[in-house]
Amino acid sequence: MQQAGEPIPKKKKFVLCCEICEEHFTSHCPLLHGPKSAGTFCGLAGDGLGFLHIPYTSAAKAFTPQKISATAQITIVEGSVPADLVKKELARAIPVKWDWVVREHGTNSYIVPFPCQVELQRMISMKRLRTDNNEGVMLFEEWNNEIKPKQRLQKVWVNVYGVPHEIRSFLPLWAVGTILGATQRVDMRSMKKTGVVRLLVAVLDANCIPDDADIVVGNCLYEIFFKVEQVLTDNNDDNVHPDEFEDDDDLDSKDADKNHEMEDAEKNKNDTGSGSSSKVNPSSLPNSNQPQKNGKSDLEVEKVEKRIDLPVDMLLGEASDIVMSQIKEAAQINSSFLIEEDSVDVNASQDVTRTEGFKINNQVQLEANAAIHVSGQQQKTLQPRWSWAWQRSL
């Protein structure tokens, strides 16, 4: 019971979160209730190719272990030393007050936390320590969280022949690659163009790839054949994407650009009405039927030619744009000249009309002046008569 004057204890807050992905409740986690991945045995087609493959995706959030400051990995190189004896030998060699915890790490190997980095480096400098009663020899090494692979698989491009057309889609062809090893890529673009199934597979030994294998599709047994095309020397994950996929994308974009350029040139030709026609450079067209040159394969020669054709096509397109702009400018200049000539003719006709008007106005004015002069003479002749009549009346 709480007494008077004592502070009120704060209530503990419990945060509920998913222990799998840490974003929601564990009972609502889609990974918990969704389909689970399973290990598969790959490489059944030949001896020396078999291994257990665990599928994973790099997008998944992985657990990062905490960094341990002073931890040793003790390996038994001679004799047999159990965990209890390792504790006694460490307490004898390092006389400090420390609760030794020995954890097994594989066969004849233990992971042991040390009280400080100084004692750890002292035992590492000793390298080996023989037990008191010669039961065995212990080797001291500094342990870290890095787990190094035992072996890196070879990545091989393989051509597969005799695959039934019913399974020539992405997922079934991925399963065909697991006959040799872990499938990395399925070249769907090459299969659509050439009709040959092309797979990138990670194998234990490229020399153990067999020439053929039997597969069952539905209730039919088929025999398929393998041919190694290329063994990749660099096993870096950044270089898994081959250049062939990028080159094919570039080819598709180049073909689309060529089609657009031809359509634009045809439209410009119809608009301007000029008899000039755009010519396509034959060297810019890909030629897949050329023989081998200088010991290189047809595929390599075709790649080089395609990379050279791209800037040539760009230059031809720029030149055609310049020519068409110059034609349009010339047409605009000719039209402006015609407009100026028409304006000059109109102005000249207006000037002639004005001069004729001036002449008519002058003649009318002269006739008016003459009429005024005549009327003045008549008044002068009538004035004496007026004056004589008036005097006579008086």
Q: Token pair for residue 297? A: 């394969």
* Residue 132 is assigned to a structural domain of this protein: yes
265 and 226, same structural domain? no
In a domain, 375, yes or no: no
202, 180 Cβ separation under 8 angstroms: no
Please say which residue of 300, 334, 368 terminates a domain: 334
Question: Is residue 125 in some structural domain?
Answer: yes
The reply to whether 360 falls in a domain is: no
Spell out the per-residue pLDDT of the chain, length 394, in tens.
Answer: 556 666 776 666 666 677 777 677 777 788 778 877 778 888 888 888 888 888 877 766 666 666 667 889 999 998 889 999 999 999 989 888 899 999 888 888 999 999 888 988 999 998 899 988 888 999 999 888 777 888 999 999 999 999 999 999 999 999 999 999 999 999 999 999 999 999 999 999 999 999 999 999 999 999 999 999 999 986 444 444 444 444 444 445 555 555 555 566 566 555 555 444 444 444 444 444 444 444 456 677 676 676 677 777 777 777 778 878 878 777 777 666 555 555 555 555 566 556 666 666 666 567 666 655 655 554 454 444 444 444 554 4
CB atoms within 10 A of CB 176: 23
- Decide: pTM greater than 0.95: no
Q: How far apart are CA 156 and CA 42, in angstroms?
A: 15
DSSP, res 296: B
Q: Is residue 23 in some structural domain?
A: no
State which residues form the domain around 187. Answer: 154-241
Alpha carbon 194 to chain centroid, angstroms: 25
Nearest to 210 by CA among 200, 191, 223: 223
- 268 vs 156: CA distance, rounded Å: 50
**Phi-psi region at 162: left, alpha or beta (left = phi > 0; alpha = psi -120 to 50):** left
**Domain shared by 133 and 166, yes or no:** no
Q: How many domains does the chain have?
A: 3
Q: Specify which residues 166 forms β-bridges with.
A: none
> Distance (Å, rounded) from C-alpha 267 to C-alpha 238?
45
Longest CA–CA separation in the chain, Å: 189
Q: Which of 241, 268, 287 is the last residue in one of the domains?
A: 241
Q: Please tell me whether residue 134 adopts helix, strand or coil conformation.
A: coil
For 220, list phi and psi in degrees, rounded to 5.
Answer: -120, 145
In a domain, 76, yes or no: yes
Do 260 and 327 reside in the same domain of the chain? Answer: yes
Domain boundary among 81, 109, 142: 142
Question: Is 344 contained in some domain?
Answer: no
